[in-house]
Amino acid sequence: MSDINCLKVGKPAPNFSATAVYDQEFLNVRLSEYLGKYVILFFYPLDFTFVCPTEITAFSDQYERFQHVNTEILGISVDSEYSHLAWIQTERASGGLGDLKYPLVSDLKKEISAAYNVLNDEGVALRGLFIVDKEGIVQHSVINNLAFGRSVDETYRTLQAIQYVQSHPDEVCPADWQPGDKTLVPDPIKSKEYFTAI
């Protein structure tokens, strides 16, 4: 954990090494192993709660959509890997997760949550979501309070905008941009082409 640093958008994502549960087995996950891919890194408060399974299963149900654009997903909470495993082994109809298509990471020592500035005063992670690019740089950060969940569709839209501007460095994406929509050229004169067309 010595290479964890303070989180800032536009700076390298704090690296970590931790135990995760995937395919009902324990494995070690290092964020640095995902270099070359985009990563959706999302924190949630606790296992066996109420809003959390709706988010976790929604990301799992749309996992192939993210894989199609070179992106992996990691879920993290301050629970142990044993709690993660028990929750995965519980069927969705009974408040569990069932099998997931991505790892759930254990942050029992709360070091990862602290490095990403999502740890609240009660010692659980707020609903932080970070998009890390294939160079390991944090490109997007959003943090919700405990009582309301995040949008998988908006996460995917934001990811696509990040990928677009990284492959088209002379363009920027306006509000609510979707693939195929017009972009702007960040220039006082050339940007007028966008505004006169809307």
Alpha-carbon gap, residue 198 to 193, rounded angstroms: 9
Global pTM reads 0.94
Segment 58-86, tens digit of pLDDT? 999 999 999 999 999 999 999 999 999 99
Please give the backbone phi and psi of residue 19, each rounded to the nearest 5 degrees, phi first: -80, 135
Residues of the chain with CATH 3.40.30.10: 17-167
Q: What is the pLDDT of residue 1?
A: 41
Architecture of domain 17-167: 3-Layer(aba) Sandwich (3.40)
Mention every residue, 6+ apart, whose C-beta is less than 8 A from residue 4: 14, 15, 16, 111, 112, 115
Segment 39-63, tens digit of pLDDT? 999 999 999 999 999 999 999 999 9
Residue 129 DSSP label:
E
Catalytic residue chosen out of the listed positions 7, 20, 41, 52: 52
Please give the backbone phi and psi of residue 34, each rounded to the nearest 5 degrees, phi first: -95, 5
184 has pLDDT over 90: yes
Confidence of residue 151 (pLDDT cuts 50, 70, 90): very high
Alpha-carbon gap, residue 181 to 8, rounded angstroms: 29
Q: Does residue 52 have an active-site annotation?
A: yes
